Structure formats: structure tokens, C-alpha cells
Structure 1
Amino acid sequence: MSTIYAEATPPGRGGISVVRLSGPEARLIGEALAGPLPEARRAELRSLRDGELIDRGLVIRFDQGSSFTGEEVVEFQIHGAPVVVRRLEAALRRHGARMAEPGEFTRRGLMSGAIALSEVEALSDLLSAESEAQRQQAMRVMSGELVRWTESLRERLVRAGALIEVSVDFADEEVPEDVPAEVFDLLKGVRGDILAALAGYPAAERIRTGFEVAIVGPPNAGKSSLLNRIARRELALVSDVAGTTRDVIELHTDLGGLAVTFLDTAGLRKTQDHVEFLGVERALDRARNADLRIHLSEDGQPVQDLLRHDDLVLRTKADLGGDGISAVSGTGIPKMLEEIKDRLSQRVAGAGVITRRRQAECLESAAEALDMGSDLHPELLAETVRHTSQRLTEVVGRIAVDDYLDEIFSRFCIGK
């Protein structure tokens, strides 16, 4: 296994730059540049030399098994000038390290068992988070909440599996008479918890991927003007000429902590213009698949073919008189945005920590396996429990060893 390095801070000028070194030779290379390294997890000021003084900065080391990668790691915190970073990296290469590939630090952490696959996925979500809800969701998984939850289910499965093994292999020994009942109580409880987690998956997925809100209506209804008002800049071209908007224009924003993409769509009308016709078709397609639609028109009438029960139907150009909203004066727009936020917030109220289809499919398989009758043969039941336990390890990306026998000896006094 080679020793790798990478700059952990964004390239360019800054107050400091952080360069990390990970692998079997990390400590030796660190000592070659900085002399004797400080105690693990202790930062100390060092002069970094490679035939000449490179810089003075803080040096921190992490022992194998106690770092993000699971390997020996040395971290250099140096002055944030690109030339200093380049000089340090050249010294690291001269001593045998190589530049890390994209994501290689995280990949090594996964392969060493320092982090679970679900935590890798959450880290990816955190790095791409655009809203507070996405940040909070990613941090819940990264902090180990999903791992702890699956482990708590597996502990109950281990108990159930141990009781089944006892009933099969040690039937003549003194074991509790209510073993079968306890087994099925445990399995029923595990299945119930899995189904509850699956029920919260759609909401959690919407938080992770974000919502889409389509602005629909006839030409010149004020759709582009509304998008510009929400964006607080000229994002979409506004014109009195009908059919100006041909393609879907997107505005990514944070609405009350939720990631929301507003879609400005082409005016919906019959047209002989081929390009405009394609724009209308694309608008209809995006609007149908959106999470919510804002129906705009001067007379307050919705687009019937697109209307859903949770949509907003609004009269536009209220600055010319009457009720509704106005993209010119801003009348009614704060209330509209608050209503959208409330409706979307209701949809994510039951979100859990199952955020990806891969995780949900593993749980679905586990729940299906546990949907069995109480007359199942003990050996088949034991196999079902083992299968379910394995599927739970796959949720977080870990496959654990068979620990049923240890559970048996810890809970029962057998063979004396």
C-alpha cells in the first residue's frame, strides 16, 4: 500500500493550507521533514526542512486505527501560499509519497473499516449540501445514527438466532420454555422498526435531492417575472412577446432550510412554431414531475391538466389592481413563499435516516424475509434470521461475522 498526500484546503491563497499524508510510510516521511513528531493528536510547531527550510507550521499525527483513513496520518498546517504548498508537496514526492486520487482518503477509510459505506454516502451528501435540512440530514448519518440503529436491530436478531440455535442443538438441556414466543416477539419488533424506517424514506430522499416547484400558466402570465423576483436578479428574459421562454430555466435556492428548485416553464398554448412547441412539451413534462406547481394567470384559473391537490393557484399582476401577487411590486410573494415552505415541510415531517435507494432495498428485502408464519421449521427460521442480519449489515456497507455462538454462551449456562 503506497503512502499518499493531498491538500485538504481549497487551492489558492489563504491564511493556512492543510496538507495530509496517509499510509505506511507517513510517520517516517513526517520525521524526515519535521524531525521527531509530537504525541498523537497533539499539534506542535515545527520547522519543515528538505535540504532547506520550507516553512514553519503545525504538525499533527494520528496513529493507525485512530484516523479517518484507519492508517498512520500526518497533517501539516502551513502558510497558505501556493508556492509553499508546491514546495512541501515536492518534498513529499521526493520521499516516496504520491498524490492521492479523487476520493482516495475516504476510500481507504472505508476499506480499513474506519467508516461505513453509509457514512461515505453521507459525506458526499454533506459536501454537496445546499440547505440546512440537507446538512442536518447528512450529519445525522455521518455521526453514526444509521450504524447504531442497524446494530441495535442486529443485536435483537443475534438474540433471536441464539435462542433458535439453542432450541435446535440443545433441546435436551434446561432452556426457557418460552423461547419460541420470545423469538417471534423479537422478529416482529425488528420488522416493525424496519417498516417504520421505510415509511420515512421518501421524505428523507426528497430532503437529500431537493424539491422542484414548477411555475406554469399561459404566455405573458408573469412566470419569468416571478422567477426573477424570487431570485432578486434578472435570471430569465422578460418580454411582452408571447413565447419568449422556450426552455426550462432553473433557480436553485434555500427556502426555509429546504433545497428548492423553481422552474420557469414555457407559456402553455397551442403553437405552429416548432421550437416553441418543443418548449411547451418540455414544460409539461417537467411540470408533471415537479413536487409542486404554481399556477399563474391573470384570471386566477389553473392549468387543469396539471392541477394537483397541493398546488397553488394564484392570480398574477396584482399591481394593476385586484387580489393576487405582483412580481413588479412584490405584493403577495412573501406569503406565497411561506405557503410553499409550509407545504413542503409537511412532506418531510416524517423523514428518517434512510436516504438512498440502495439502503431502502436492503431493508425491503429484510422486511420481506421476516414476513413469515409462526409454523416455520426452526432451521429455516434460523436461516431467515441470518439472511435478515446480513441485509442489515449491507444497509451501512458492513458484513459482520457470525456471532450466534458467542451469544449462546453469554446468555446460557450449557454443558456443565
Structure 2
Amino acid sequence: MISADTIVALSSGRLPSGVAVIRISGPKTRFVVETIASGMVKGRVASLRKLRAPDGGVLDSGLVIFFPGPGSFTGEDVAEFQVHGGRAVVARLLETIAGFEGVRHAEAGEFTRRAFLNGKVDLVRTEALADLVNAETEAQRRFAVQNAEGAQAELYLSWRRRLIHARAMIEAEIDFADEDDIPGSVSDTVWSDVSAMIGEIERHIAGFRAGEIIRDGFEVVILGAPNAGKSSLFNALARRDAAIVTDEPGTTRDLLEIVLDLEGLRVRLTDTAGLRDAAGKVEAIGIEKARAKAHGADLLLILEDMADPHPVALPREGIATLRVGTKLDLVQERAPAGLTGGYDRVISTKNGTGVTELLAEIARLAAAQVGEAGDILPSRLRHVELLGEANRFLLRATESPDAGQELRAEDLRLAADRLGRIVGAVDVEDMLDVIFSQFCIGK
């Protein structure tokens, strides 16, 4: 696909910066580059040029690299200007390039969209590129790289190929049942493989929560009675005064959140209002928010002041919890032998005792939820929904032996269609705007 427009955008990070990368793609690329760079450019060779406006005025000096299509990221002629990262320099260059006839500023994700439409990447790799750009932790980077290199797409395509083969065998048996070179019955082999695939897809779908944790974070919520030390722990982990800490009960009335990087995993930690029955109207709203937040948590830290314990009830069963005894320094002052039994961890935010060990335990529990680093996991709810639809068609086909081979073969086709939609092997135009709108402008 050759686009009529040539697009341009800043593709590097926030300005000002040491170096800024301006990317251009489309049919006018070579003309624009050779006009601004004052001469011919050799493909795939970086050259230092003085960059000039069409009126001859010097804009900047920098490296120019030209990538002839189709051997480029987008499949079109592409070029990059590596220039000084000042705001005025970049603004003037973008203004100059967009001033050429047939050239305009790119929309969000438009470079990657062109790469997809030109067959350079599939949809799963496209989404992985967005994850790679947004990766903040080592686990997110590894996950995105694995998918960008095609592991996830190849899994879905392998299932689709097996279904296409199964359907072909079924239809061959229907159409050529009397031919000698067609096996007497391929049904047993085909439906055995389809049944095995149902289990494979189910196990893959079950890994979605681990993929969510890698991408979005392991959700940890701090709960406890007023003055249990929740905000003190929150501040200690944030390494700043993110929450107000006083002796007055009910100080925290809204949810406060920080993001931690623990052993390469993203962990979202939320401080909440102290749980108690007798509370004012505003505080009661905060308590209700705390309980609602706890329902969606991956881990609850139930804090209790060991010097003045006030137990709180869990919002629901089935959530992983750590019972944390706080104010260890006060307990040891009053009873040197310690009254710390019954807790998973004991800490003092005043002197830091136990805080490092608590963080290590949170990291261990998060890693246990993610599982093995090499697992191929779903990375989008879109994938899970289409995988679920595919499995429903497969189940209907395997559980309806009396429906007729033609109808069962049609279910195989519908299942393969859903797998194809994940990677973009079938028409997915209705999904493209949503997917590419998640990208930054220069990507």
C-alpha cells in the first residue's frame, strides 16, 4: 500500500534533549530530504549534513539517514534527521518539513499503522511495540520484546494453521469419501487434535492475569484500623511524605497510590482510609473506597498496631494477605522479649526494621503470580475475548458429533477466523483506530 501523504513527526523523547530524532515517511521523503540536506543521500548510510530551509537559511546541522522502501520500518521511503534537541530547532524543522506540498504532521501511531498495512508487522507485534515504548520495568521490557519478536503471534498462527488443516481434512473426507487416496476416516485424528487444542487455549487464557500483572502492575492495598501505621509505611516505601501522618484518627480519607519497581516487576501500592464503624460522612466515603479497592487487589497488607491492636475484618475471602505488625520499636520498649506472635511480618517505620524484608516478600509473591519468565502469555483483553470465542466454537464442534461434518467444519472455520483476527490475518479494520490511537505521535 502506497500512501498519498508523506508524514513527519518527532520520534524521540521529551524536549529539550541532547539529540532529537525527526522521522518522515511517504512518497515525498527523498525529495524533502535531498532538498533540506542540499544534495543526494545514499540509502542506509548516516551522513552529517547542514540542514537548510528552501530559502537557503540554515536550520541546524545533524545526521541524515535515508531508508528506501520497501526495506524500511513502514515499507515506504523513510528518513530520520538526528538534530540538536532544542525546542526551537525541532519546531522549526517540523514546520519546514510540513510546509512541503503533500507533507503533513503524523497522527498518533500512524508510522506503525503504515507498517502494519504494508505487511511489515502483524497486530500482535504492533501492540508489543507499544508495550516496549511504554515499558518501565525489566519484566515489562522482557514481555514486550518476546511478543515483538513474534512468539505470541506464532502461537496464535500455529493454532490457526492446525485448524485450517483439520478443516481441510474434514472437508476432504466429505467431498472425496469414495476416493482410494483419502484415508478411510480422518475424524478420530482431527477431533483428537482439536480437543487437545481446546486445552492449550484454556491454559493460555488462564495466564492472562499474569500478563496483566506484568503490564499494569501487581496490586497491593494497605488496610488496617486508624493509626495502624498505614500511611507511615506508605511514606517509607515512597521515600517521601506522600501521605499525611498524625495521631488523629481518620487522617487519610482518599486513596493514595505509588508505583514501585520490585525485582523488575511493577507494583502498585495503595494507602487507604482506616477501617472503623464510627466515622463521619466524608471519612465513611473513604472507608467505602478502601473496601472497594481491596476487592480488586492481588495482595492485602493488613496492618495492626502491636502496641494497641484493633483487628479488622477482611473485605472478602480468597485474596492473598500478609498480616503485618507495626510499631515494633514501641513494643520492644515496653516488652523487650517482644509481643510479635501471629504476624507474617513485623516492622518499625521509625527505625526501618523489617521494611526491607516486607518488600522482599511482596516481590516474591508478585513473582509467584507471574510465573516462569519464558511463558507466552496473552497481553490484551482483546486477545482473551477472541480466544474465548474461538474455544466456544471448538467446544461446540467437539461436543456435537451428530451435527454433521459440514456444520462442525464451519465451527472450525469460525474458530480459525477468531485466531486470525488477533494477529490481523483477516479483516480487522474496525479495530485499527482503537489499537493505533494508543501510540505516541512519532511511532
SS at match of 2:167: helix
Mapped to 2, the partners of 1:63 and 1:186 lie a distance apart of: 45
- Could you say which residue in structure 1 is the equivalent of 2:203? 196
The equivalent of 1:406 in structure 2 is: none
Structure 2 match to 1:162: 168
Offset at 1:382?
Answer: 2.3
The question of 1:352 aligning with 2:361 is answered: no
Moved more, 147-156 or 111-120: 111-120
1:66 aligned to 2:71? yes
> d(CA) in 2 for partners of 1:77 and 1:216?
50
Q: CA RMSD for the aligned pairs?
A: 2.3
1:82 maps to 2:91: no
Taking the aligned partners of 2:40 and 2:157, their CA distance within structure 1 comes to 41
The amino acid that maps onto 1:356 is R
1:236 to 233, 243, 251: 243
Asked whether the 8 Å contact 1:141–1:353 carries over to 2, the reply is: no
Of the three residues 128, 135, 142, the one matched with 1:129 is 135
- Judge which range, 192-201 or 292-301, deviates more: 292-301
Contact preservation (8 Å) 2:233, 2:349: yes
**Paired residues, what number?**
400
Q: How far is the alpha carbon of 1:238 from its aligned partner?
A: 0.7
Q: Give the secondary-structure state (helix, strand or coil) at the position aligned to 1:366.
A: helix
Instruction: Return the letter of the residue paired with 1:119.
Output: R
The question of 1:13 aligning with 2:6 is answered: no
Letter in 2 for 1:196: R
The answer for the alignment partner of 2:40 in structure 1 is: 36
SS at match of 2:5: coil
> Normalising by the residue count of structure 2, what TM-score does the alignment of the two structures yield?
0.84
Pick the aligned partner of 2:215 from 200, 204, 208.
208
Contact 1:168–1:378, Cα closer than 8 Å, also in 2: yes
Structure 1 distance, partners of 2:216, 2:371, is: 16
Q: Distance in 1 between matches of 2:289 and 2:47?
A: 59
Change (3 A) 1:275 1:6: same
- SS of the residue corresponding to residue 261 of structure 2 reads strand
Equivalent of 1:318 in 312, 315, 328? 328
- More deviation, 221-230/186-195: 186-195
Q: Which amino acid letter does the alignment assign opposite residue 213 of structure 2?
A: R
Deviating more after overlay: 200-209 vs 177-186: 177-186
Letter in 2 for 1:78: V
Q: Does 1:381 align with 2:408?
A: yes
Higher relative contact order (CA 8 A, sep 6+): 2
CA distance in 1, matches of 2:293, 2:132: 27
The TM-score, its normalising length taken from structure 1, stands at 0.89
Paired residue type of 2:126: V
Where 2:40 maps in the other structure, the secondary structure is: coil
CA distance in 2 between partners of 1:22 and 1:331 (Å)? 57
1:116 paired with 2:96, answer no
**Distance (Å, rounded) in 1 between the aligned partners of 2:141 and 2:317:** 30
Change (3 A) 1:20 1:199: same
Determine the C-alpha separation between the residues in 2 that align with 1:364 and 1:91. Answer: 50
Per the alignment, residue 421 of structure 2 pairs with 394
Return the alpha-carbon distance in structure 1 between the equivalents of residues 205 and 15 of structure 2.
44
- Stretch of structure 1 that moved more, 311-320 or 253-262: 253-262
State the distance in 2 between where 1:262 and 1:272 align.
24
Find the partner of 1:368 among 388, 392, 397.
392
CA apart distance, 1:178: 4.6
Q: 1:147-158 counterparts in 2 under 5 A?
A: 147-158=153-164
**In structure 1, distance between residues paired with 2:203 and 2:88:** 54
Q: What is the CA-CA distance between 1:272 and the residue it aligns to?
A: 4.5
Deviates more, 1:243-252 or 1:349-358: 349-358
AA in 2 matched with 1:68: F
Q: 1:224 aligns with which of 205, 211, 231?
A: 231
Partner of 1:328: 350
Residues 166-215 of structure 1, C-alpha deviations (whole Å, 9 max, x = no match)? 22233333223353333223323332321221121222122222122111
